[in-house]
Structure 1
Amino acid sequence: MTALIDADRLLDVLETETTLLAASAAAADGDRPVPGCPGLTVDETARHVGSVYRMALTWIRTGTRPTRWQRQPRDGEPVDHYLRDGLRMLLGELEARPPDAPCATWSPTDQTYGFWRRRMAHEATVHRVDVQAAAGGDITPVPRDVAVDGVDEVLTLWFTHRLAVLGVSGTRATTVAVRTAGYAWLAEVATDRTLAAPAPLLAAESAAATVTAPPQELYLWLWGRSAVFSSAVTREGDLDALTQLWALLRLATR
């Protein structure tokens, strides 16, 4: 699974988005609920990201899925400091190896450092939007190239692979085309599997339904942040196919 943007760009995104997330969390009421993550607050979301960074770092260093890592800030440590410190350690590890160097991951098709560059960049981006949405102020736009790559990641990694790990598939066979900015993917659902891959625009036209939106809006919609940008997403065709895609994505990305 290859990212659609440069691997060094992903490191820049990881650093920029996490820094913005930390600053947004520090400036907001930490108890504000996060609409994109029901049940979580601003502080809990920032803490979650800091914990994920430490989990990823432990996985990279040990070569196996970890069961223990520092999941919480130390007593008296502000959550934004915990997040920034996690970023510092993770960036140091990722910058020390080329993106194509072998590395343990949870993707069967990408066992490289590049996987973690991409995955952590999108982890930071989506949750930064969450925290800014919870704070109620302006939401910093997601760069176009980041959003397009994020659409590809959520479809080819989460929808395709994560659902297989969970043992989840569809209730009936169908296809949905997902389109943005001249790119297209065909999401196929069967009763025994799910699969999404880039597709020519003409091939995507034969799908039972279509989802179309600008890159940022489509990216966040696929991640279930419909309360933020759903009005810009156009859905056409078989309603059951669209409903099934939405439901499967919610299971894949929860």
Structure 2
Amino acid sequence: MRRLVSALRVPALLALALAATACGSETAATPQAGAKTLTVFAAASLTESFGTLGKQFEARNSGVTVKFSFEGSSALVQKLTQGAEADVFASADQANMDKATQGEVIDGQPSVFATNRLAIAVGKGNPKGIKGLADLAKDGLTVIVCAPQVPCGAAAKKVQQSSGVTLKPASEEQDVKSVLAKVRSGDADAGLVYVTDATSAAAKVDKVDFPESAGAINSYPIAVVKDAPQAALAKQFTDFVLSATGKQELVKVGFGTP
């Protein structure tokens, strides 16, 4: 009889163990209650600063994940007007924010949270001895700039027009990070980037400031996207970027204050 009872217990205990395992797996796979994802479309030049601000925002808001899409502002506007879903849009210039507003994809009035200006990125040690904007027009140099429709490209064009210096770029990139990457890799001798990008990449490139950049200061506006899935959270994030904490983080990498 004792052997029969023991034999009956084994399948029963095995069934209980399997049930407990299944319950444990189900619990582990269950998403956190109240979890939310905030999608932010932001200019490529905001990669480092917004990356830090995103982590700080997550720490202040339990269960919130900030998902970034960093690209050229013009590409982001195109995606928004074509129906891409996002909660916040941060542009590297007013012109592209105006396009987004005219395309009726922005909710409310955008707010300027930072300013930026151009600098020349060169290889470490400045092997070509570049001292200013005029040097970029010399023969024998491989110079990279942003495409005209991109904010850093529009600023480069404006600087050339006001200074009388005409550049012959080897390529025109779709965002400022692509310009910086070619300088870092040695594929370009120099590139016109934002001060903030050259500052963030100080371990890989050197920065050459030039006075003509003062004639093409870019303003960075931010706004909640129309019909944002997380509208209330989007407003909180824009307020956080505009706060003293947000400005402090932006200034660290060279952004100016509006």
Q: Report the TM-score when normalising by structure 2.
A: 0.26
Query: Whose strand fraction is larger, Structure 1's or Structure 2's?
Result: 2
Query: Whose helix fraction is larger, Structure 1's or Structure 2's?
Result: 1
Q: Report the TM-score when normalising by structure 1.
A: 0.26
The one of the two structures with greater contact order (alpha-carbon pairs below 8 A, sep at least 6) is: 2
Higher-Rg member (1/2): 2
